[in-house]
Chains A and B, each alone.
Chain A
Amino acid sequence: EVQLVESGGGLVEPGESLKLACAASGFTFKSAWMSWVRQAPGKGLEWVGRIKSYADGETTDYAGPVRGRFFISRGDSRNTLYLQMGSLKIEDTAVYYCVTNPVEAFFEHWGQGSLVTVSS
């Protein structure tokens, strides 16, 4: 059974940084493309970014609103996905989901989400 468990969320002030982690199990993590998708309170889904597998060069791509501030990495030996968030803004407040991404724009398995609140 595929399991994705996010951690690291919390309350931070504008301008601060935060790092989320996603522990993966039940599938071959090192071969998987992975994405982060977020959902602001009461709002819709928004793709944050994606990292390809090591075999595919670990290429990362990001949505416009987070490009240059957020960085995705992976620790294949630990089956863990990371999201380093910097220069956080109030509008980054959201539940952040870790998802498997077998094909572009195809999000197969979802974690339970981790809430990040940016507020002064």
Chain B
Amino acid sequence: QSALTQPASVSGSPGQSITISCIGTNSDVGSYDLVSWYQQHPGKAPKLMISEVTKRPSGVSDRFSGSKSGNTASLTISGLQPEDEADYYCCSYAGGRTFVVFGGGTRLTVL
């Protein structure tokens, strides 16, 4: 069982918006603005999409945005495109002796 809880799957039609939740605790997501999100296509290495809750790296589409409220972080993808179909993972700093925790991943299907 992963430390952060994500839905196993989400889906949407092209052009729609979807949000993937990432539920942690007050020991990780709730305590640090150090949440990141990764996109992984089959057989490929993960790619950073969002860092430090809301920061979008250069080259990442502005259709991707991140937010956090309490112990829950969220990734929103607007204007879904077929190439967005992938697995998405959230990650948070957890301090202490745990340091870093990942979510179990969410498979996004673009219908």
Contact = CB atoms under 8 A, between A and B. Distances in A.
B12 interface: no
Contacts of B36: 105-107
B47 interface: yes
B42 to A, nearest CB: 11
A106 B32 CA distance: 12
B48 A103 contact: no
B48 to A, nearest CB: 6
Interface string B47-71: 1100110000100000000000000
B47 A110 contact: yes
Contacts of B102: 44-47
A118 to B, nearest CB: 21
Given A44-B89, A104-B100, A106-B48, 14 more contacts: A44-B104, A45-B46, A45-B91, A46-B102, A47-B91, A50-B100, A63-B99, A103-B34, A104-B34, A104-B93, A107-B46, A108-B48, A110-B46, A111-B45
Interface of A: 35, 37, 44-47, 50, 61, 63-64, 97, 103-113
